[in-house]
């Protein structure tokens, strides 16, 4: 029997909540195309397609099977098989309504290819805009390093099976001039044992914890590292099919990579000879691989320079055009395009590149998301509609941050942010159902209420 208050229930709560908000926020606008950026927006995209009969394009940036994703959420979905099966059945029905589909790797494309009735997926990698980068020593100063010291950078948040533990232990097998910087968010349940490990092994002076930088500073700041390490263990589907952002960030920072045997990361490193791949997860193996790279740093830095010129957005934009070609081409007359993201977009470069490209093609773009991108990742002429009541970051008690956002937009010549606060209570399509809202919410979980509403709408339309 399915139990309440499980992760699949919270998933549906978020999915239907966003879909309700989008349906209300659509107003009287008409759209010719919908581009969806994440799986949590699938139900909202289905609503848009049903309402306008417009083509639906899905940018499948995540691994499709929730039980195969990273972290505690993946473990919880794996433990709740019946609820997770319900989530997948719901999403598969929407996948079958897609008109075009893009993903990041062949592994993810293969998963969709194995599903009946789903359009073939096109691969669009997360290549960054090309930029000239001169090596910057700020990161070394923040770690208090001497000129002779070498810095290995772990460039991401810490999560289950990320491999940072064995990377820390590898320092014991390396000269004291080799340091490790961990740059990203660390949950307490992993951070506390990690810090205990560091203290127990006497490595406090050689392991440094750094905050993430904004999009404008990230590439420059990381360029001061000598090696970037991606030690993720290929234990789950998400890891075995991933080609994560940090690969492209390290490439643009010109930082050579030491990577575990993740198939698609390994493919990049071996194709461009821009680093070293190691097998297994033993600290001694990592240490030997680091020594090998440190002895040839100049060579690998030269290879990273060449790689940055080949793996950049100007080279990858053609793949995006090919992915959109079933429904749209650069020569088409202007269309009204709705871009959906049931997630924050503050530092999301992929979403920025896609919306910028569509705007450059001359289309009228509206974005409906939980959080507006940082000013440097906003696109001129794009209309941003933010789900204020679904997102704590833009609540009314954060007026100072709101004001800064608006000022930054004005300085950049971008129109003031359009913020809507529509909720399920503002819907006027079926007012009789919503008169029962207050009563029903007291006795039913919110996801059950939303399912009832959707069933009512279906039969009403029929």
DSSP state for residue 59 in the 8-state scheme: E
Q: What is the pLDDT of residue 413?
A: 46
Which of residues 457 and 108 earns the better pLDDT score? Answer: 108
Strands (E), 382-446: 383-387, 418-420
Mean of pLDDT values over 392-408: 48
Q: Cα–Cα distance between 280 and 274 in angstroms, integer?
A: 20
Which of residues 430 and 172 earns the better pLDDT score? Answer: 172
Q: Cα–Cα distance between 298 and 278 in angstroms, integer?
A: 20
Q: What is the pLDDT of residue 442?
A: 42
Q: Choose the weakest-confidence range: 72-81, 314-323, 352-361, 404-413.
A: 404-413
Does residue 364 contact residue 348 with C-beta atoms inside 8 Å?
A: no
Tell me the per-residue pLDDT of 330-388, one tens digit each, with 9 for 90 and over.
999 999 999 999 988 888 999 999 999 999 999 999 999 988 888 899 999 999 988 75
Which of residues 105 and 414 earns the better pLDDT score? Answer: 105
Tell me the per-residue pLDDT of 30-70, one tens digit each, with 9 for 90 and over.
999 999 999 999 999 999 999 999 999 999 988 999 888 88
Which of residues 312 and 372 earns the better pLDDT score? Answer: 312
State what percent of residues in the chain have pLDDT above 90: 63
Q: Cα–Cα distance between 102 and 34 in angstroms, integer?
A: 14
Q: What is the pLDDT of residue 110?
A: 96
Chain center to CA of 208: 25
End-to-end CA distance of the chain: 31
Q: Is the pLDDT of residue 253 over 90?
A: yes
Q: Cα–Cα distance between 69 and 261 in angstroms, integer?
A: 18
Which of residues 387 and 3 earns the better pLDDT score? Answer: 387
Q: Cα–Cα distance between 4 and 1 in angstroms, integer?
A: 10
Q: What is the pLDDT of residue 112?
A: 96
What is the average pLDDT value for the chain, to the nearest integer?
85
Q: What is the pLDDT of residue 5?
A: 47
Mean of pLDDT values over 311-330: 97
Q: Cα–Cα distance between 1 and 184 in angstroms, integer?
A: 39
Strands (E), 278-360: 336-344
3-state DSSP percent of the chain in helix, strand and coil, to 5:
50, 15, 35
Q: What is the pLDDT of residue 371?
A: 82
Q: Is the pLDDT of residue 18 over 80?
A: yes
Total-model pTM:
0.83
Q: Choose the weakest-confidence range: 1-15, 122-136, 222-236, 295-309.
A: 1-15
Structure tokens belonging to residue 420 = 């809507």
Helices H / strands E in the chain, number of each: 20, 14
Mean of pLDDT values over 106-110: 96
Q: Cα–Cα distance between 197 and 208 in angstroms, integer?
A: 14
What residue has token string 């064995």?
A: 166
Phi and psi dihedrals of 117, rounded to 5? Answer: 80, 10
Count CA within 13 A, CB hemisphere, residue 218: 21
């Amino acid at each position: 029997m399915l139990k309440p208050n499980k992760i699949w229930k919270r998933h549906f709560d978020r999915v239907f909540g966003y879909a309700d908000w989008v349906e209300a926020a659509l107003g009287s606008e008409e759209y010719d195309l919908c581009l969806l950026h994440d799986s949590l927006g699938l139900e909202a995209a289905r609503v848009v397609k049903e309402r306008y009969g417009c083509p639906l394009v899905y940018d499948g940036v995540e691994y499709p099977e929730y039980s195969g994703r990273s972290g505690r959420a993946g473990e919880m979905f794996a433990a709740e098989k019946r609820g997770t099966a319900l989530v997948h059945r719901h999403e598969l029905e929407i996948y079958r309504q897609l008109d075009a589909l893009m993903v990041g790797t062949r592994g993810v494309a293969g998963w969709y290819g194995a599903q009946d009735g789903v359009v073939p997926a096109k691969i669009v990698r997360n290549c960054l805009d090309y930029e000239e980068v001169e090596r910057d020593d700020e990161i070394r100063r923040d770690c208090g390093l001497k000129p002779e010291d070498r810095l290995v950078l772990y460039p991401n948040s810490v999560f289950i099976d990320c491999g940072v533990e064995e990377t820390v232990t590898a320092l014991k097998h390396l000269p004291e001039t080799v340091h490790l910087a961990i740059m990203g968010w660390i949950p307490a349940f992993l951070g506390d044992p990690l810090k205990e490990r560091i203290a127990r092994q006497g490595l406090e002076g050689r392991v440094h914890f750094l905050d993430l930088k904004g999009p404008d500073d990230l590439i420059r700041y990381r360029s001061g590292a000598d090696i970037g390490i991606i030690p993720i263990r290929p234990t789950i589907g998400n890891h075995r099919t991933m080609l994560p952002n940090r690969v492209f960030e390290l490439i643009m920072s010109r930082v050579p990579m030491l990577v575990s045997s993740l198939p698609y990361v390994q493919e990049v490193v071996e194709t461009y000879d821009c680093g070293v791949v190691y097998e297994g997860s033993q600290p001694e193996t990592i240490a030997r691989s680091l020594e090998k790279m440190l002895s040839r740093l100049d060579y690998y830095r030269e290879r990273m320079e060449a790689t940055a010129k080949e793996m950049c957005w100007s080279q990858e934009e053609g793949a995006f055009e090919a992915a959109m070609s079933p429904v749209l081409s650069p020569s088409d007359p202007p269309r009204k395009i709705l871009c959906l993201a049931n997630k924050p977009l503050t530092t999301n470069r992929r979403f920025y590149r896609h919306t910028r490209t569509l705007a450059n093609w001359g289309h009228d773009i509206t974005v409906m998301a939980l959080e507006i991108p940082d000013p440097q990742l906003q696109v001129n002429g794009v209309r941003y509609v933010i789900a204020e009541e679904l997102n704590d970051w833009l609540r009314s008690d954060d007026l100072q941050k709101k004001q800064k956002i608006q000022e930054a937009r004005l300085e950049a010549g971008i129109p003031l942010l359009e913020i809507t606060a529509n909720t399920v209570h503002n819907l006027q399509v079926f007012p009789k159902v919503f008169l029962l809202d207050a009563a029903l919410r007291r006795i039913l979980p919110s996801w059950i209420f939303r399912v009832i509403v959707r069933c009512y709408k279906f039969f009403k339309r029929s």
